[in-house]
Chains A and B, each alone.
Chain A
């Protein structure tokens, strides 16, 4: 937290008591600390921006404030008094309304019906009163909503206005907008920004969650940056006002992607790059849809002994790239070459046998079958292959022996090879999966967020293993959202944004300058400026 206090330059506004406070809140999920000892105060009359990458803990905080989850440690306060928000209705009663990223309206009902959904069942919908209030809201906040329209037929922006109106009709004190601009047009986002300012002027506290840097500066009065579950820093209103947009964005980039204050110095590893090209990607493109971002025109070359890092804010096509490489995701176009051989049309299993390995980021849901014992999980990608199967018949002893060897070699902490893998901690599952990927003749290993959600000790050993793999002459593609990790391990770093590679930089050890450059590329700011210049 030293970083947080460091950035708090002005205390004048801090002295004002906030509406809601979050005090030392920690929330753990299996294998991951989602929110780690976060303290925040939200004030009346302010748009308080919570900024952070996916997985930084923003959504969990929203969940805690809206009563969906309760903190494991720490507490919440309302107007200076300690409160417990054990359920969504408790949160609503406390005057906290949340507009979630995905619409929480019933699309087949009318606007009026949606607005009155939470009311007691024995009351008739007070149509006249709501209509009068809506008239007021229309004047004050430019919310114009036809009461009898079917919600599903309205635009996403209008649906969001309904949710805001619903919060206002409840006389909420605090309005939380979770990734509210993600489904709006730039124009819609701009309108929302103005509306938020009007709302706070009327006395509300608005909590605005986003991962877009420019929005944070433009619409926010106060910015708190979350990083891997912890508060990385805060920018108070006075400080923000005194900065230009560029300065503010620089500062935010520093907070979001900068070196953590307490983290040990991660020495850059010596390159073990050799001259022979192992993997060549040419113009890979995949189909995107509403839920999944497609990738476009990805070209990369991996050489033996080289670690190529892929930086980017989570969800900018990194996983799709990994899946396309592993053969799990069909390509629209492009070509994959391994050791000079075209493997574009090879299946997942064929690519694996040729030495292209992919360690998924989703250890539990994709990488393993939780209920199966460790032994079976170690061979799930080689079902039917000798020596574990002979003529399609399983050889349990051989598999068990292999699993025991793997457990010993990768120092997996497990009661035995028959333990269901779902009972292990994230770090130990990761070791099993890594052992599985390195089995046999591996040539290229694609790591997707290999240290995500692990504790410090496991992070260190994982990174150690990755550099050992490169030393052995394998090519490594290291996808990570942790810039420290990428800068410590990579020879080159490709930055992905919006499903494309925005640039590939050599990791020349130039430290902070490189970090800032990558950070801005990740945020898409570089492009943005060029577009608006």
Chain B
């Protein structure tokens, strides 16, 4: 139920914005709304985090400055930031489909890892057998398929029995993460290394880098994925069907849509993109999967997708800032002794403040009426 409430403003939002601009009367309140909805909460979140930093004895200005410098204002940092974006973007695409269609796919981590493992297991073996582009393509396709298959049980349970997918996808995610690690240790283990890990895809066979930088071209594919998904959800008949199922399944049934089949399609697409995210990390950057590797990107992306209100362009911007934050805080952790997990504190306070902003805006508008 809550997902629908959350989603309602989404589809309505572009329209109300247009209204706001069109009418000069509401222009001032439109500016105020931007302040209460975005700028204000972001400033508040940074202030709140600054307080926490001061409490643990770190100068917040040094910390924020260091993150900026390390992730955005240094060439290498910027390249790292851009490279980190690729898997996050694929995950955004995955979640935009799911959330817009009213499905809480919280199992992206399991789907991501299984996709990563299958591409890491298959690609190195195919090198030499297939041409370079086909190796990569096979890796991506297999990852998408495995991701989708891993969502099959929750999908069938949701579509035909109405079982809450929040629980089932989360449970399948735990299983998926463990299964991935087991596969690495037992089945796909590279016999030539002592540390349990898969065979490594040689650097020259990975996704090509962009120009002379170290940025993986996975970034481009990730951007394409998000934009394609965004256009699919907003501009095609299929996307409208999915959105209708998400916004009002009863109305969808009434309009003659097959809600179970569309639910299955949502799961398949969403989990498939999560699998692609795993493949992009392996085929683009890491080259292999080490045992127990789990970056948990899936759950990290959820707040970003919500903040972007399931809008693809918005998600890209947020992913950029988030990767910058991650890259910056990784080195800040080493240099300033602030744990890397502090990014989570920052993101959490941002979410709380944005939620408060929304609440305040809602009440203001109620009063105006």
A residues within 8 Å of B by Cβ?
326-328, 347-349, 352, 358, 360, 362, 365-373, 376, 380-381, 383-384, 389, 392-394, 415, 418-420
Residues of A within 8 A of B194 (CB): none
Knowing A392-B237, A394-B237, the reply to whether A371 touches B9 (Cβ < 8 A) is yes
Q: Chain B residue with minimal CB distance to A352? A: B256
Knowing A348-B256, A418-B18, the reply to whether A368 touches B251 (Cβ < 8 A) is yes
Say how far B341's CB is from chain A's closest CB, in angstroms.
Answer: 36
**CB-based contact B251/A393 at 8 Å:** no
B226-272 residues with Cβ-Cβ distance < 8 A to A are 235-238, 240-241, 243-244, 247-248, 250-251, 253-257
**CB-based contact B248/A370 at 8 Å:** yes
Q: Which of A373, A381, A420 contacts B255 (CB 8 A)?
A: A381
Q: Chain A residue with minimal CB distance to B256? A: A348
**CB-based contact B15/A383 at 8 Å:** no
A/B interface sample: 13 pairs, CB < 8 A: A347-B256, A362-B250, A369-B251, A370-B247, A372-B12, A373-B11, A380-B251, A392-B238, A394-B235, A394-B236, A415-B19, A420-B11, A420-B15
Complex Cα distance, B19 from A373, in Å, reads 12
**CB-based contact B254/A384 at 8 Å:** no
**CB-based contact A371/B256 at 8 Å:** no
Say how far B365's CB is from chain A's closest CB, in angstroms.
Answer: 12
**CB-based contact A383/B244 at 8 Å:** yes
Say how far B261's CB is from chain A's closest CB, in angstroms.
Answer: 12
**CB-based contact A383/B257 at 8 Å:** yes
Task: Give the size category of B's interface with A.
Answer: 20 to 34
Known: A366-B251, A384-B237. 11 other contacts (CB 8 A): A347-B256, A348-B255, A368-B248, A369-B251, A371-B11, A373-B15, A376-B240, A380-B251, A383-B255, A393-B236, A394-B235
Complex Cα distance, B243 from A368, in Å, reads 13
Knowing A392-B237, A393-B236, A394-B237, the reply to whether A372 touches B256 (Cβ < 8 A) is no
Say how far A155's CB is from chain B's closest CB, in angstroms.
Answer: 29
Say how far A352's CB is from chain B's closest CB, in angstroms.
Answer: 6
**CB-based contact A394/B240 at 8 Å:** yes
Residues of B within 8 A of A360 (CB): 254
Knowing A383-B237, A389-B237, A394-B237, the reply to whether A366 touches B244 (Cβ < 8 A) is no
Contact indicator per residue, chain B 113-133, by CB within 8 Å of chain A (1) or not (0): 000000000000000000000
Residues of A within 8 A of B254 (CB): 326, 328, 348, 358, 360, 366-367
Does B85 sit within 8 A of A, measured CB to CB?
no
Complex Cα distance, B318 from A181, in Å, reads 58
Residues of A within 8 A of B59 (CB): none
**CB-based contact B256/A381 at 8 Å:** yes
Does B292 sit within 8 A of A, measured CB to CB?
no
Residues of B within 8 A of A328 (CB): 253-254, 256
**CB-based contact A418/B237 at 8 Å:** no
Complex Cα distance, B256 from A349, in Å, reads 5
**CB-based contact A371/B247 at 8 Å:** yes
Q: Chain B residue with minimal CB distance to A353? A: B256
Complex Cα distance, B256 from A360, in Å, reads 13
Say how far A303's CB is from chain B's closest CB, in angstroms.
Answer: 26
Does B26 sit within 8 A of A, measured CB to CB?
no
- Which residue of A372, A392, A419 has the most chain B CB atoms within 10 A of its CB atom? A372
Q: Chain B residue with minimal CB distance to A351? A: B256
Q: Chain A residue with minimal CB distance to B7? A: A371
Complex Cα distance, B238 from A393, in Å, reads 9
**CB-based contact B253/A369 at 8 Å:** no
Contact indicator per residue, chain B 1-13, by CB within 8 Å of chain A (1) or not (0): 0000001111110
**CB-based contact A393/B235 at 8 Å:** yes
Complex Cα distance, B18 from A32, in Å, reads 31
Q: Chain B residue with minimal CB distance to A326? A: B254
Complex Cα distance, B237 from A102, in Å, reads 42
Residues of A within 8 A of B240 (CB): 376, 383, 394
Complex Cα distance, B251 from A392, in Å, reads 20
**CB-based contact B8/A370 at 8 Å:** yes
Complex Cα distance, B237 from A349, in Å, reads 14
Residues of B within 8 A of A371 (CB): 7-12, 247
Complex Cα distance, B238 from A369, in Å, reads 16
6 residue pairs, one from A and one from B, having the closest CB atoms: A348-B256, A384-B237, A349-B256, A371-B8, A418-B15, A369-B248
